[in-house]
Structure 1
Amino acid sequence: MVVLPMKEGDFIKIEYDAFVKETDQLMDTTHEEVAKEHDLYNERATYGPMSVVVGSGTLIKGLEEALKDAEVGKEIEVEIPPKDAFGDRDPKLIEVFPMNRILSLPEFRKGDQYPAEGMEIRINNRTGVISRIFAGRVRVDFNNRWAGRTLVYKFKVTELIEDRDDRMRALISSVYPHSEEFSFEFGDEDAVDIILPDIVKLDTNWAMAKFKLISDLRKYMDLRTIRLIEVYMKREEEEEHDHGSEHSHEHDDKAPAEKGSEGEKKGEEPSENKEASTDGEEKADEKKE
Structure 2
Amino acid sequence: MKELPVDKGTRVTLHFALKFESGEVIDTTFDKDPASLEIGDENLPENFEAYLMGMKAGDKASYQVPPEKAFGQRNPNNVQTFKRHEFSADMVLEPGVMISFADARQQELPGVVSRVEGDEVEVDFNHPLSGRTLTFDVEVIDVEPAGQAH
Query: TM-score, normalised to structure 1's length?
Result: 0.45
Matched pairs, number: 144
1:212-266, CA deviations, whole angstroms, 9 ceiling, x for partnerless residues?
Answer: xxxxxxxxxxxxxxxxxxxxxxxxxxxxxxxxxxxxxxxxxxxxxxxxxxxxxxx
Helix, strand or coil for the counterpart of 1:73?
coil
Partner residue, 1:12: 12
The CA deviation at 1:143 is 1.4
Q: Give yes or no for contact 1:116–1:133 (8 Å, CA) kept in 2.
A: yes
User: Which secondary structure state, in structure 1, belongs to the residue aligned with residue 25 of structure 2?
Assistant: strand
Residue 100 of structure 2: aligned partner: 122
Contact 1:9 1:56 in 2 (8 A): no
| Kept in 2: contact 1:96–1:138 (CA 8 A) | yes
What secondary structure sits across from 2:85 in the alignment? helix
1:161 counterpart = 2:144: yes
Alignment TM-score, normalising by the size of structure 2: 0.80
> Structure 1: 5+ residue runs without aligned partners?
34-46, 109-113, 167-289
CA shift for structure 1 position 3: 4.3
Q: Using the alignment, how far apart are the partners of 2:123 and 2:102 within structure 1? A: 12
Deviation per residue, 1:59-83 (Å, 9 max, x gap): 2233222213523122210111112
- Corresponding position of 1:180: none
**Which amino acid in the other structure matches residue 110 of structure 2?**
T
In structure 1, distance between residues paired with 2:23 and 2:117: 29
Distance 2:66 2:47 in 1: 8
- CA shift in 2, pair 1:68/1:122, >3 Å: closer
Task: Give the distance between the partners of 1:11 and 1:69, measured in 2 at CA.
Answer: 13
* SS of residue in 2 equivalent to 1:164: coil
1:71-96 Cα shifts (integer Å, max 9, x gaps): 31222101111121112222111101
Between 1 and 2, higher relative CO (CA 8 Å, sep ≥ 6) is seen in 2
User: Is 1:71 matched with 2:56?
Assistant: yes
Secondary structure (helix, strand or coil) at the match of 2:142 reads strand
Counterpart position of 1:94: 79
User: Residue 24 of structure 2 aligns with which residue?
Assistant: 25
Query: If each structure's helix is expressed as a fraction of its own residues, which one has the higher value?
Result: 1
Please state whether the residue corresponding to 1:100 is helix, strand or coil: helix
Q: Is the 8 A contact 1:70 1:76 kept in 2?
A: no
Secondary structure, counterpart of 1:63 in structure 2? helix
Tell me which of 65, 68, 73 is aligned to 1:83.
Answer: 68
Q: In the alignment, is the contact (CA less than 8 A) between 1:75 and 1:156 conserved in 2?
A: yes
Which position in structure 2 is the counterpart of 1:59?
44
Equivalent residue, structure 2, for 1:137: 120
- Other structure's SS at 2:149 match: helix
Give SS of 1:165's match: coil
Runs of 4+ in structure 1 off by over 6 angstroms are none
Rg larger for: 1
Contact 2:56–2:143 under 8 Å retained in 1: no
1:20 deviates by: 2.0
- Whichever residue aligns with residue 37 of structure 2, its letter is V
Compute the RMSD of aligned alpha carbons.
2.4
Q: Distance in 2 between matches of 1:97 and 1:30?
A: 38
Q: Is the 8 A contact 2:63 2:136 kept in 1?
A: yes
